[in-house]
Amino acid sequence: MFPDVRQLTSTTAIQVVAYSSTRVDVSDEEVVKLVLACGRRNHAFRITGELWFGETRFFQLFEGDPARVQKLYENLRRDPRHCDMVIYHDSLEPTRRCANFTTHVFDGDESQAIERLIHRFVSKRS
Ligand SMILES: Cc1cc2nc3c(=O)[nH]c(=O)nc-3n(C[C@H](O)[C@H](O)[C@H](O)COP(=O)(O)O)c2cc1C
């Protein structure tokens, strides 16, 4: 599903991925630890984007150097803290959409919030 990094013509290309997933039996304390670790790792690897979480779901947009993005994608697929990943967007773009990496808590109905995020991040630019 990912473009072959070797075929990229520009070294400045940014890969952008957006997905939702289902949270799997992890405590709020563990989610807070996860979010803090994500912030540190993403800063180190120049991954930007947004991570949204609630009682039952996650939504994340992450972007950066394609090799880093693909590594993170592989980590996410193996991570037992969530399941049922649905990819909404995967593209190479000339610039980042987000200046940094931020985390947010869903306010209200999580499925509706995810629909709004898909519309905001995916529909308009895919
Ligand atoms: C919903 C969710 C979002 C995550 N987001 C990130 C992220 O943005 N950056 C990151 O480094 N790890 C993230 N992780 C954790 C990774 O799955 C993985 O644990 C981490 O990259 C460390 O991988 P490693 O154990 O191979 O070093 C996330 C995990 C979950 C469940």
Cα 42 to ligand 1 centroid, rounded to whole Å:
9
Which residues on adjacent β-strands are paired with residue 53? 58, 105
With the C-alpha atoms ordered 38, 67, 83, 81, is the resulting torsion angle positive or negative? negative
Protein residue with its CA nearest to atom 29 in ligand 1: 76
Q: What is the pTM of this model?
A: 0.89
119 CB burial (10 A radius; 0-12, 13-18, 19+): exposed
Q: Please name each of the domains of the chain with its CATH number.
A: 12-123 (3.30.70.100)
- pLDDT above 60 (res 41): yes
CA–CA dist 77, 84 (Å, integer)? 9
Average pLDDT value for the chain: 90
Q: Judge contact between 92 and 66, C-beta under 8 A.
A: yes
CA–CA dist 52, 58 (Å, integer)? 6
- pLDDT above 50 (res 76): yes
Q: Which of 40, 41, 78, 87 to mutate to test the pocket of ligand 1 (most atoms within 8 A of CB)?
A: 41
